[in-house]
A and B are shown apart, each in its own frame.
Chain A
Amino acid sequence: MDHIPTFLQSKLSLGQSAAAEISPGLVSAGDFQAILPALVFIATGTLLLMLDCFTRGLSHTDETRKNRSSLSTAINFLGLLGTVVAGACACASMEQADPSLAFQNYIRVDSFSSAVSLIIILGTFFSLLAAIDYLKRFDAEHGEFHCLVHYAAASMLLFVQANNLIMLFLAVETLSMAAYLLTSYLRDSRRSVEGGLKYFILGSFSSGFLLFGLTLVFGATGELELQEIAKSIAGGEADRSLLLAGMALTVVGMGFKVGAFPFHSWLPDAYEAAPSVATGFMSVTVKSAAIAVLLRFLLLAAEPAGEAGTASVTEILSSVLSLLAIATMLFGNLVALMQNSVKRMLAYSAIGHTGYLLVGIVAALGPGGELAPDAVIFYLLPYTLMSIAVFTLLGYMGRDGKDRELFEDYRGLSTSRPALALCLLVILVSFAGIPPTAGFWAKLYIFRAAIAGGHTWLALTGILASIVSLYFYLRLVVNIYMRPAEEELDADPDSSLASGLVITAAAVALVILGLFPDLEFGSLIKALGK
């Protein structure tokens, strides 16, 4: 054992003795209670898959069609019900003030993870609701969709609750698998399959980076548990160069997942190729989970500032992340400006929003960063509502198995669908960050946290990027409100109630949240045990 550093030797032996202590009886009911929302998702997902498998009719007689449609209704209902139950469980865990650990500290439930879980569950609920219409419209009502969404949601919940590097990686891989499959869900469409494959290849690549990074962090600190890693780093026991390399690679891996420049290249293709409901689902939930985990990881693994003259690992990472944030904001918004397809525009604007979130993360890392974690989490909430609503709109506009994605397709929507147009106006205004919508407060909190942390330049870049973004959000408003339709949009298909519900609910929620945007700052950072 001579070649192993001494500090690792002690850690390893400690690990062995700890392993010896674990006996089968140590998994308690409390452990399962901690991951109850995820369990509910897994159970409903499996149930739906089974239901679909064993009841799918083989022949295409009228009777089986009829059965099929009642089966779909049942699946939709059960799927939504499962989400609601999971949400209720997450709400209950939000109530408990103290963080609790489960499964030998692999899982940590605190108000940070519960808040993010709730946002993810909200996104899942809206996506499933929108999917009711979409799948029927595109004749793709297979039970796998619900199953995949539920599994993805479950793994995301475990991802944000993960308190251990192994758990972290397992959860992110599971959720990525579900996301690849969802992207290529429309299996008869070339585009969808191609996009899924691209996403898969680049995603696996990024998982490699992430795994390597996590391994190096383990190597540097000799710990797998986040809290212990934090202690080791804070105590100055970690190997600094290894740690820096590990953290940098972790940031690269997570950068892929959140779609930060320059690791964004998969994102527009995957977003464009995926069925719109799946795009909406992925764009909010995967991003929320990954941003939250990145924030938690970087905050816990923060190295205190060393003596003058030497930058700490966190300071180096923070300056790298600032550059990434600036590049991401500018790139996302500038490229979105040039798109002719609404879906691609939204994909690039999603990159831009990642940039704003990174600003929040940078602010959280520096001094005076107590405000930032709450700001980041708050940002995710309106972002979830807006993003799902616009992708639902894309699905709603689709006719005859095709998306209608060009800006021109939206002309005259305000005359044929005035109520829908009004809701969209609210949503786009919120995207652009204009009061009295929630999008305004989201940007306000982020930029305020940035200024409080002394990152005025980041806030200025964010403002400039927002000015750019006005143009493409307005472009949609111009088409909806100011240009007459070239051809009248044909009547609503019989399945558009759920889409309308999602869009209306999002618009109303954005206005209400915009009028009552109070936020208790500093609550989440305490929950992290920082």
Chain B
Amino acid sequence: MSITLTLLIPVATALLLLCIPKDKTAELRITALFGSLATLAFSLALLGGFDAQYGAGFQFTEKHEWVPSLQVHYHVGIDGISLFLVVLSALLTPIAILCSWKSVEKRVREFHIALLLLTSGVIGVFVALDLLLFYVFWEVMLIPMYLLVGIWGGTERIRAAVKFFIYTMAGSLLMFLAILYLYQHTGTFSVEDIYQKPPLTGTAGLLCFLAFALSFAIKVPLFPVHTWLPDAHTEAPTAGSVILAGVLLKLGIYGFIRFAIPFFPEAAVLAAPWISVLAIIGIIFGALMCFVQEDMKRLIAYSSVSHMGFVVLGLFAFNEQGVQGCVLQMVNHGISTGALFLLIGAIYERRHTRRIIDFGGLAPVAPKLAIIFFITTLSSIGLPFLNGFVGEFLILQGAYSRNIFYAAFAGLGIILGAIYMLTLYRRIFFGETDREENAEMKDLDGRELAFLLPLVGLMVFLGLFSPWFTAKVQPSIEVWMTLLLERGG
């Protein structure tokens, strides 16, 4: 029941919000916050109850008939790979609500409803063990995200929202066709059953893999289908950016791990070098784009392209270190990039500009902001003892044993990453405080610290105690690797 409750509480809260008059903003915010905290509590219960030594298969599973004529089931469950992604999604929602406490003033009720439905949708994607159920969640979460960008976004919000929507839907509709084709071939939508059936091979397998891969690559986003991301990120409200970077981008990677690769192992192995090359291009290209950005939000968006390239590279190394690094780095990226967007949101609320050139010398004016921003920057560039390091290291190790050139280029990407992030930090926080507005800027207040400090804590915790994390993930990855070998990957 825990998973169902985690899914249902946000929906129930959203329905509850519909009953509150729309001008009672404080009540609306508090209700939404409590709803999201309850979701978080249930997801933490999942984390606490999770048994790493459980062996193969999924935990907390529930299975009920949904559409008998198609054998579609409401079938949910988690393993080590999805566990942390569920917790991360549940964690980022109250943070998103808190960070919008003051910045979102129009249509407060609709905003929170969209945010809560989005949470349900993404958690649903991570827990679904029925292919059609997964697809339903995958599509359902698009609409709230589209509205979040389109209604509460910046000046170019409509273009960004439509671009985001069309890109993602184009990919997912082709995947839909592949799902139906796969159903025709295997006669089941159950993910575990499909794992047992002989995989689709040959051209059909390759085409189906490509349809799945395109949909997931757009979501990741992988070069060259990444172009929706900078627009969507830049225009989205802070809460939207946090969820987008923190959770939505991981959906693509998760899709590769859970569906595309194990369903079509032959095609995945065949495509792996190509996808790895695209990932490397993404790493380098994203990093280079960061050097020329004037808008700091856009810069972080491009850095996401670069970082997600690492994650894909680790995954398609198809060895234990790579995949482990991939799963770890997904969570790390969610935390550190989420925090970066929150910080930029806080700066934007104060100064109503995001142009890097408008800033300088903020460190003495806002020391708390400067310190947290610094820790987050270091986490993002992968300094040892912070979370980013372990993940990047594992990915590099995995990539190295696949192909030394992959590792070399990825290493170059890390160096570039350190340069642009530190440059960004220097331009914002160091130097003369030459502008009056900057000199009068307020430091972080209690509310902002309340949602930033937990993330900083996690950065340190995951950096120091990564074995705690890997111990929970490791068995599931071993099962996954065996599955892949069995299916001829």
Interface of A toward B, CB cutoff 8 Å: 414-415, 418, 425, 429, 434-436, 440, 444, 447-448, 451-452, 456, 459-460, 463, 466-467, 470-471, 474, 478, 481-483, 517-521
Contacts and interface: CB of A to CB of B under 8 A. Distances in A.
A43 B319 CA distance: 76
B150 A478 contact: yes
A471 B161 CA distance: 12
25 contacts: A418-B110, A429-B143, A434-B140, A434-B142, A444-B180, A448-B180, A448-B184, A451-B177, A451-B181, A451-B184, A463-B173, A463-B174, A463-B177, A466-B173, A470-B166, A471-B162, A474-B165, A474-B166, A478-B150, A478-B162, A481-B147, A481-B151, A482-B151, A482-B158, A518-B69
Most B-side CB within 10 Å, residue of A415, A466, A478, A520: A478
Nearest to A447: B180
A448 B185 CA distance: 11
Interface in B118-170: 135-136, 139-140, 142-143, 146-147, 150-151, 157-158, 161-162, 165-166, 169-170
What 10 pairs between A and B have smallest CB-CB spacing? A435-B136, A482-B150, A467-B170, A463-B173, A463-B177, A451-B184, A518-B67, A435-B139, A434-B139, A482-B158
B202 interface: no
Contacts of B107: 415
Contacts of A425: 143
B180 A451 contact: yes
Contact of B69 (A434, A478, A482, A521): A521
A452 B180 CA distance: 9
B173 A482 contact: no
Contacts of A435: 135-136, 139-140
A462 to B, nearest CB: 9
A435 B143 CA distance: 10
B183 interface: yes
Contact of A478 (B135, B140, B158, B169): B158
A481 B174 CA distance: 27
A521 B69 CA distance: 7
A451 B180 CA distance: 7
A518 B132 CA distance: 14
A472 to B, nearest CB: 11
Nearest to B162: A474
B169 A459 contact: no
A482 B142 contact: no
B183 A467 contact: no
Given A447-B177, A482-B161, A518-B68, A467 B184 contact: no
A517 B67 contact: yes
Given A447-B180, A459-B180, A481-B150, A440 B139 contact: yes
Contacts of A466: 173
Given A418-B110, A470-B170, A518-B67, 14 more contacts: A415-B107, A429-B143, A434-B142, A434-B169, A435-B135, A435-B136, A435-B139, A451-B181, A459-B180, A463-B173, A467-B169, A481-B147, A482-B158, A520-B69
Given A448-B183, A481-B151, A434 B143 contact: yes
A470 B140 contact: no
B176 interface: yes
A456 B67 CA distance: 23
Interface in B382-432: none
A460 B180 contact: no
Most A-side CB within 10 Å, residue of B107, B140, B157, B173: B173
Contacts of B173: 463, 466-467
Contacts of B184: 448, 451-452
Contacts of A436: 136, 140
A470 B164 CA distance: 12
A436 B138 CA distance: 11
Contacts of B146: 474
B174 A482 contact: no
A470 B161 CA distance: 13
A447 B182 CA distance: 13
Most A-side CB within 10 Å, residue of B139, B146, B169, B180: B180
A302 to B, nearest CB: 23
B2 to A, nearest CB: 22
Contacts of B142: 434
A460 B139 contact: no
Contacts of B176: 444, 447, 463
Nearest to A470: B169
A150 B85 CA distance: 57
Contacts of A444: 176, 180
Nearest to A433: B173
Contacts of B147: 481
A131 to B, nearest CB: 30
A483 B151 CA distance: 8
A430 to B, nearest CB: 11
B221 to A, nearest CB: 18
A460 B22 CA distance: 44
Interface string B50-82: 000000000000000001111000000000000
Contacts of B135: 435
B166 A471 contact: yes
Contacts of B174: 463
Interface string B211-224: 00000000000000
Contacts of A429: 143
